[in-house]
Chain A
Amino acid sequence: MEATVTTDSKEKVWSGGGVKPLGASYGKMMMWFFIVSDALTFSGFLVAYGFSRYKFIETWPIADEVFTHFPFLHGVDAPMYYVALMTFILIFSSVTMVLAVDAGHQLKKNKVIWYMLLTIIGGLIFVGSQAWEWKNFISGEYGAVELKSGRILQFVDASTGERVALADFAKEIEEDRTTQQSNQGVWYMSETSLPSYSLEEIKTGFESHENIVVRTEMLNEHGEKTVLSRAESAERLGQATTVVEGANLVRNEYGSRLFADFFFFITGFHGFHVFSGVVINIIIFINIVLGTYERRKSYEMVEKVGLYWHFVDLVWVFVFTFFYLV
């Protein structure tokens, strides 16, 4: 098993001069060193997340309260179950990948084809799940208001302690305010869509619903968000400036602004890795089906993309821990 890449003519194209430093072929070693540098990039992101979290340790959002959705279970509180399922799907696609590599060592073409196909499907399911997670995160669930300081106030039922959505208590007030479009405004000014309720509607609704109180970002000694009394709530609500629904890069209804930024950036960067991994897997899959590696008598290309795929899984294990568990 000398050459990494040999053509039909049995001509050596490039195997690093035939010398194998550290006992690894050229392609494999370069894949490994790419992985090392990419691992450092991801660790930079995750450590930056840790830095911001330590900085705002008392006010950081609680992941269990943010990621509570499960497909087809509407209104059911299912913290983390879906992410756990996604983790399983990715680990399982890693298993089918390593089985493909194993079958490749034994030059069993059909087995490699099937395992690669399963790997690609697993990857697609994972990327789809991540897109769904993003959709829920962006659209939000309860809504909140932002204060002058940029702090978020969420609403809870004073008697049960359950979260209350803006729609449950805000009072509809007739008004003419509509979203400003660039074709109507002066000098092409426009704005993003207005929230479903104005601040005035929320304040009026708050007055008429005696059991609504607000919850601040501050965590108490039990690790729960602090709930204010009715009088304090009214006072705080007076300082509200903006209605926040869902999340974007500027503000989010879950709390600290950095939380959403890191969520988009880290899971987005990882999701992009999964996506490119799926694309590379598909290219290799086509090559396997065409019999390229059968003629080479070496399935080392499968092994190399396998390394990348496992790395993506490895990164997710860490993202899962630091974003959802810790």
Chain B
Amino acid sequence: MAHAHESNIKRIWVVFGILSVITIVEVILGIIKPESLMVSVLGMKLLNWIFIILTLVKAYYIAWAFMHLEGEKGSFRWSIVLPLLILIPYLAFILLVEGNYIHDIYSEGYISWDF
């Protein structure tokens, strides 16, 4: 039974520290909104890219450390993560492009939205 599990307590607190720092940075950036980060990169503000990247870093730490994906077999790990990594960006790409297209139709077409 129950083969010896070494304690991961130190790792848990380190990860908590990382997640806290990232959240604090996000909130500070969200409140001051530095003018230098408002430039558009690939159709979106640089600040928003930073937010999304920081969020993915947080998601990585939660899934790998807290949900203990780092301890699972590689095959199991990727059978969970890969479908999400493929399907979600795919869906986001399609719908955001479509939303942008409809926006252009509304703003350049003969439709008045403000009356």
**Contact status A54-B84, CB under 8 Å:** no
Query: 8 Å CB contacts to B: which residues of A140-187?
Result: 147-149, 151
Residues of chain B within 8 A (CB-CB) of A244 are: none
Q: Tell me the B38-89 residues at the A interface (CB within 8 Å).
A: 38, 48, 51-52, 54-55, 58-59, 62-63, 65-68, 72-73, 75-76, 79-80, 83-84, 87-88
A55 touches B31 (CB 8 A): no
B98 to A, closest residue via Cβ: A51
A321 to B7, CA, bound (A): 32
Among candidates A55, A94, A147, A297, residue contacting B62 with C-beta atoms closer than 8 Å: A94
A32 and B80 in contact, given A98-B12, A325-B26 (Cβ under 8 angstroms) = yes
Contact of A326 among B52, B58, B88 (CB under 8 A): B52
The answer on a CB contact under 8 Å between B20 and A91 is yes
28 A/B residue pairs, CB under 8 Å, sorted by A: A22-B73, A24-B72, A33-B80, A36-B80, A40-B83, A43-B84, A43-B88, A47-B91, A50-B92, A51-B98, A55-B102, A79-B30, A84-B23, A84-B24, A87-B23, A94-B66, A97-B66, A99-B12, A102-B5, A297-B2, A298-B1, A310-B62, A310-B66, A313-B62, A314-B62, A317-B58, A318-B59, A325-B51
Please tell me which one of the listed residues B12, B72, B113 contacts residue A149 in the complex, with CB atoms under 8 A apart. Answer: B113
- B23 adjacent to A88 (CB under 8 Å): yes
Taking a contact as CB atoms closer than 8 A, the residue among B55, B67, B75, B95 that contacts A318 in the complex is B55
Inter-chain CA distance A52–B95, complex, in Å, is 9
Contact across chains for B96 and A54 when beta carbons are under 8 A apart:
yes
Contacts of A149 in B (CB 8 A): 113-115
Interchain nearest-CB distance for A190 vs B (Å)? 31
A28 to B5, CA, bound (A): 18
Interface of B is mostly: helix
B1 touches A1 (CB 8 A): yes
B8 at the interface (CB under 8 A from A): yes
CB contact between B59 and one of A87, A147, A314 (< 8 Å): that residue:
A314
Classify chain A: how many residues form its interface, as a range.
35 or more
B16 pairs with A92, CB closer than 8 A? yes
Which residues of chain A have C-beta atoms less than 8 A from B12's C-beta?
95, 98-99, 102
**CB distance A107 to B66 under 8 Å?**
no
Contacts of A79 in B (CB 8 A): 30-31
A48 nearest CB across to chain B (Å): 7
Residue of B nearest to A313 (CB): B62
Q: A91 near B16 (CB under 8 angstroms)?
A: yes
Asked if residues A44 and B80 are in contact (CB atoms below 8 Å), the reply is: no
A254 at the B interface (CB under 8 A): no
From residue 216 to 239 of chain A, which have CB atoms closer than 8 A to chain B? 216, 218, 223, 239
Contact mask A179-201 → B, CB, 8 Å, 1/0?
00000000000000000000000
